[in-house]
Structure 1
Amino acid sequence: MAEAKTTTFGKLLIKLGDGADPEVFAQPCGMTSKSLTFSKNTGETLVVDCDDEDQVTWLERNAESLSASVSGDGVLAATSIQPWWEAFASTEAINCELSIQYSTGTMKWTGPFHLTSFEISGEKSGDPKVKSAIQMDSAGAIENEWVAA
């Protein structure tokens, strides 16, 4: 039996671009939960059996669009509030680099995203640390590549 090759939390990276040329990507500190979601929207068509129109009709689906989203939450580190705020305040999408590093290689996605939600929260009792939660949605095509180790 071949054991699955896995990776750890610290190898799932969410980096924001600085807009410079060449662009430099950096991961804001403090996330304790991260998620990447890739979605495909489809259109549907009922396809009739021309030889027997009383047959149950099969539903065919065709791809219409692709999108990606990123979410995360954790403590709001002092070094992270400015990059997150600047990404939110921008009316232009910012380039992001998302990646998962394995011992066998790295899967990387790069493309434009809007920071659509930036939540800051805190509680007096329990854990008094100020926390943040983010949501980013793709704003165009995302390129991906697998880089073997």
Structure 2
Amino acid sequence: MADGQQLGRLLLIKIGDGADPEVFTNLCGLKTRSFNMSATEVDTTIPDCTNPGNPVQKTSRPGISSRTFTGSGNFVSSTVMDIFMNHIRATSSFNAQVIVPGDGTYAGEWFVTDFTFNGDVEPNLEFSATFTAGDILTFTPRV
């Protein structure tokens, strides 16, 4: 692998067990995953008050930031999956870490906004989930 390139399979979400001290474990089975960082756009455009007929230049500033992790793959029965599923059934938030190779770790409170089981007759049971930040996340740059 060339310098600087990162493996997609190392984009991970680790679920906290709620203990003190908290232990974070990889959510196993994910085959596809993505991490999105975005912000809304707040329009700050003001037409020229002196010459309202002049062209108007659109201007903006960043608004609300959003952090979302999505993943899908095989459902693997485990202790961490049991903890994760309990949060989904209870619609509760939990501590997690998103590890982004080459960038760093986004840690804090998350909750699942969408969860789906799927499967056919023969293949393994699969799942997909969307995780949204439930509070301000702590970012730790990679070392």
% identical equivalent positions: 21
- For 2:42, what is the secondary structure of its paired residue? strand
Q: Which runs of 5+ in 2 are unaligned?
A: none
How much has 1:87 moved relative to structure 2? 2.4
The aligned counterpart of 1:95 is: 95
| Cα pair 1:28 1:83 within 8 Å, conserved | no
CA RMSD across the alignment: 1.9
How much has 1:71 moved relative to structure 2? 0.7
Output the CA distance in 1 between the equivalents of 2:25 and 2:50: 60
Q: What TM-score do the two structures reach when normalised by structure 2?
A: 0.86
Which of these residues, 99, 108, 127, is aligned with residue 111 of structure 1?
Answer: 108
**How many positions carry a matched residue from both structures?**
141
Q: What TM-score do the two structures reach when normalised by structure 1?
A: 0.83
Output the CA distance in 1 between the equivalents of 2:92 and 2:141: 28
Which of these residues, 140, 144, 147, is aligned with residue 142 of structure 2?
Answer: 147
Structure showing the higher strand proportion among its residues: 1
Q: Which runs of 5+ in 1 are unaligned?
A: none
The within-5 A match list for 1:63-74 is: 63-74=62-73
How much has 1:51 moved relative to structure 2? 4.4
How much has 1:113 moved relative to structure 2? 0.9
